[in-house]
Amino acid sequence: MRLSFLMLTVLLTATWALYPQPALAGESAVETWLPTLKTATPEEGFELAITLSRRGVTTTQSDLEVLHRERARYADDAEFLIAASQVIALHFQTIAAANNYWRDADD
């Protein structure tokens, strides 16, 4: 049952990322925190995937007290950690495609 809940959470998080979000406090509507998915290297792309995943979590759960309290529940749970890795992998797949898989023009 819990795995089904995890998969639903992953799908909802991925879907949430597809819709434009309002600017956060301190951000103007003109500025964007994510101007592009283009990165110079796959490593930078992976770091961006992690950033997207973290941003998704903090956007979904904006109460930092709850966020930190609940972290203890999933920090040692392999199923939750695998689910988090799946979200990062999904973001990395999207970023890799946006960067033409970092192929040179000669390939």
How many CA atoms does the CB half-sphere of 93 hold within 13 Å?
A: 7
42 C-beta neighbours (distance < 10 Å), count: 14
pTM for this model (two decimals)? 0.68
Q: What is the pLDDT, as a whole number, of residue 105?
A: 54
Q: What is the pLDDT, as a whole number, of residue 33?
A: 87
Long-range contacts of 57-63 (CB under 8 A, 24+ apart): 57/13, 59/16, 59/21, 60/13, 60/16
- CA 58 – CA 76 distance, rounded (Å): 20
pLDDT, tens only, 69-93: 998 888 999 999 999 999 999 999 9
pLDDT, tens only, 18-73: 445 555 555 555 678 899 999 999 999 999 999 999 999 999 999 999 999 998 88
95 pLDDT more than 80: yes
99 pLDDT more than 90: yes
| Domain residue limits, the chain | 2-16+38-102
How many CA atoms does the CB half-sphere of 36 hold within 13 Å?
A: 6
5 pLDDT more than 60: no
